[in-house]
Amino acid sequence: MGNLPLILASASPRRRELLASLGVPFEIIPAPIAEHEDPASDPREMVARNSALKADWVAVRRPEALVLGADTTVFLDGHALNKPGDAAEARAMLRRLSGRTHTVFTGLALRRVADNLRLEDCASSEVTFRVLDDTLIEDYLGRVHTLDKAGGYAIQEHGNIIVSGHTGSRTNIIGLPLENVKQLLVRSGLSV
């Protein structure tokens, strides 16, 4: 596999599925970096920095390949809600999101060291939650593994239980805004 034109610098199964839907061959090399997750930082800067760290880590090891890094966070009341550390934190996040509209930001970084290609983008979408009581939250947490998901939820997994609507890219909310990714890949010279 070592000569595919594109590498996804992420272990996320959701990003893998979304990228595969574009029909471009790629391989996966997760970047073992420590993500910057200060809840008080600017969410656009945070996801831009994390996506760049991931892409850069892989790109220096595979200089001839195009490397795509991505990072997603949920933003509400001036704070980022990243991946919950445990079920109690996931519950608390869902309570905070209940009945409210929040923003999902995804940063993208595309790198190719061989010709110094450095492209970046950021997407945002709005998600509105239903009003959630404790029974509904427990039902949702019983159905969906939320600990690897920003904000403690996944719109594509039983999202109808908790989400009343959204505006903007649904694939951004899942973790990889495909329209933005296509544009970056085309700008890099890859045919999509």
Active site (catalytic) residues: 71
| In the block, residue with structure tokens 């993208």 | 108
Q: Which of 107, 104, 103 is nearest to 45 (CA)?
A: 107
- Cβ-proximal residues to 123 (8 Å cutoff; 6+ apart), any chain: 105, 106, 108, 168, 169, 172, 177, 179, 180
The token pair that represents 44 in the structure block: 């656009």
Is residue 44 a contact partner of residue 105, using CB atoms and an 8 Å limit? Answer: yes
At a CB cut-off of 8 Å and minimum separation 6, what does 107 contact?
A: 44, 46, 47, 48, 49, 50, 51, 52, 70, 71, 72, 120, 121, 122
Pairing of strands 163-167, 117-129: antiparallel
